[in-house]
Amino acid sequence: MGLEYLGKVDKYSILEVIILAAQSLKTIDKDYLLEISHMQYTLHFLESLNLGETKYMSMLDSIRQKNVTEIRQTALAAGIEEELIEILCQIPFLYGEMESTLERAEKMALNDEMIEDIKELQEYCRAVESLGYGKNIQLDLSMVNDIDYYNGIIFRGYIRNLPGCVLAGGQ
């Protein structure tokens, strides 16, 4: 079973879906975890590196798998400078508590698009905190789902004592 939002998708509707996800998880277990990401942050990073399609897709897979060795090898093969490789290798570890993760992501941003992605994500974080859901929500900017389907905010939900994701979705 899933949820499909019909109509104009705006910031309010995205927030509404995030809150619905949090409420659904909380109904099952008050000790849930909802991870949120903004896919465009990582995609804008990779686009700024001007990788060919094969290396771009390989890099995305390596980031999804949090495979730093493969990220480094692909970046070296693409001729990316060492300073950028070091930043790129931090993306798989760009997760955790909302405020500190946003601060780290902002320091890693290479362009204005990435800064805008962080600002947008920050708006959602402030909203979920003000609604009382902040303690159960973390960010994971290495979460990059199907780029042919998703293009913005994405999320995954977890319940304690269950081995995997029990809820997932996004824009």
pLDDT of residue 139: 95
pLDDT digits (tens, 9 = 90+) for 119-154: 999 999 999 999 998 999 999 998 876 655 556 888
pLDDT of residue 149: 58
DSSP structure string for the chain: ------S---HHHHHHHHHHHHHHHHHH-TT-EEEEEEHHHHHHHHHHTT--HHHHHHHHHHHHTT-HHHHHHHHHHTT--HHHHHHHTTGGG-EEEHHHHHHHHHHH--SHHHHHHHHHHHHHHHHHHHTT-GGGEEEETT----TTT--SEEEEEE-TT-SS-SEEEE-
Collect the ranges in the chain with pLDDT lower than 50.
1
pLDDT of residue 1: 45
Q: Are strands 33-38 and 153-158 parallel, antiparallel or unpaired?
A: antiparallel
pLDDT digits (tens, 9 = 90+) for 1-15: 456 667 777 888 889
* Cα–Cα–Cα angle for 124, 149, 28, rounded to 5 degrees: 55
